């Protein structure tokens, strides 16, 4: 399966999430408003931010399919990270709004006991979101898409949020309506935490941050390739979902150009198979014992 086919499959996962979030947000906001559950309303607002995040992933996947042009020689793979960065700002704004609304409700003393039907809606939505989590996690691993896997973890956090709303509503049934408001505030905090996680990952990628343990594995792979005497320099960065590597190695100075080139091909082949590196630039220097 080539990269374009993988992206197409990723788009299906993003579209499925958008449709699910759209339906669940409408249901939660409607039921929460009619039957007086602040926790369920906050959960519905959380799903509206998830729609934005899913749309950002979809837009990023579509733009990343554009081929390289005269001023994007590496392609457009980073569009996905930029879209996620924008989505994180929108999500944190909604999260802060939910927290402020919950705090105002506490001080106003207008807490109402939600109807029990809101609890069953919350737990049913949690089950649906868990199913979405399992599907997107499987899809993200199959096509090696970090954005779809991130979307899957967002699905899982949404399932936990709905369970939290369910607990808050049940608690309110025992004469403690404040618990439902507290659940709404917790949902707001979870929205902000999810936004921070998306912001951190996107900014880390855009500033050429790279996982240290993965870099160590890449270094070991290059170092143990037959013909390599020493690795003097190694850099790696993410370009969308692609891993780009630049390495400087030392080989026997008596080798000819063809023999040295064969070593670089072995390195590139091993990096692709063992470390999922899509592009590697290998610079060769002579080694003198």
- Cite the residue boundaries of each domain of the chain with CATH code 3.30.70.1350: 212-287
Domain 3-206 top-level CATH class: mainly alpha
Q: What is the DSSP letter of 235?
A: E
What's the rounded Cα separation, in Å, for the pair 234 and 241? 19
Confidence (pLDDT) at 5: 65
Closest CA to 286 of 239, 246, 254, 238: 254
Determine the Cα–Cα distance for residues 170 and 174; give it in Å rounded to an integer.
Answer: 7
CB 118 within 8 A of CB 35: yes
Helix axes 178-206, 38-64, angle to 10 degrees: 20
The conformational region for residue 141 under phi > 0 = left, psi -120 to 50 = alpha, else beta, is: alpha
With beta carbons less than 8 A apart as the criterion, state whether 248 and 285 touch: yes
Are 187 and 108 in contact by the 8 Å Cβ rule? The answer is: no
Cα(289)–Cα(118) distance, integer angstroms:
75
For residue 247, what are its two tokens? 């390495």
- The whole-number pLDDT of residue 111 equals 58
Average pLDDT, the chain: 85
Lay out the sheet containing 230-239: strands in order across: 230-239, 242-252, 279-287
Give per-residue pLDDT as tens, 244-263. Answer: 999 999 999 999 999 999 99
**Residue with token string 């003393």:** 109
Query: For the domain 212-287, what is the CATH superfamily, name and number?
Result: Cation efflux protein, cytoplasmic domain (3.30.70.1350)
Q: How far is CA 168 from the centre of its chain?
A: 28
The whole-number pLDDT of residue 109 equals 62
CATH 1.20.1510.10-classified regions of the chain:
3-206
Tell me which residues of the chain have a pLDDT lower than 50: none
């Amino acid at each position: 399966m080539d990269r374009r086919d993988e992206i197409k499959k990723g788009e299906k996962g993003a579209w499925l999430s958008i449709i699910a979030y759209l339906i669940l947000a409408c249901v939660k906001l409607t039921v929460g408003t009619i039957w007086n559950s602040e926790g369920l309303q906050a959960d519905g607002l959380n799903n509206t931010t998830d729609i934005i995040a899913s749309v950002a992933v979809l837009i990023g996947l579509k733009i990343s399919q554009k081929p390289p042009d005269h001023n994007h020689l590496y392609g457009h793979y980073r569009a996905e990270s930029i879209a996620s960065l924008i989505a994180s700002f929108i999500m944190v704004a909604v999260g802060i709004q939910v927290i402020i609304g919950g705090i105002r409700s506490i001080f106003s003393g207008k807490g109402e006991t939600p109807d029990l039907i809101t609890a069953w809606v919350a737990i049913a939505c949690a089950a649906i979101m868990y199913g979405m989590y399992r599907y997107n996690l499987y899809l993200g691993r199959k096509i090696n898409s970090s954005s779809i896997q991130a979307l899957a973890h967002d699905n899982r956090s949404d399932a936990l949020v709905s369970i939290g709303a369910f607990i808050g509503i049940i608690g309110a049934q025992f004469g403690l309506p404040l618990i439902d408001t507290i659940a709404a505030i917790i949902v707001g905090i979870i929205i902000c935490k999810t936004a921070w996680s998306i912001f951190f990952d996107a900014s880390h990628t855009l500033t050429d941050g790279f996982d240290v343990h993965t870099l160590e594995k890449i270094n070991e792979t290059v170092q143990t390739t037959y013909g390599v005497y020493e690795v003097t320099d190694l850099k790696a960065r993410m370009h969308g979902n692609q891993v780009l590597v630049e390495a400087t190695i030392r080989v026997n100075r008596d080798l000819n150009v063809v023999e040295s080139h064969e070593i670089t091909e072995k390195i590139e082949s091993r990096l692709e198979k063992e470390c999922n590196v899509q592009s590697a630039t290998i610079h060769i220097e002579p080694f003198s014992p």
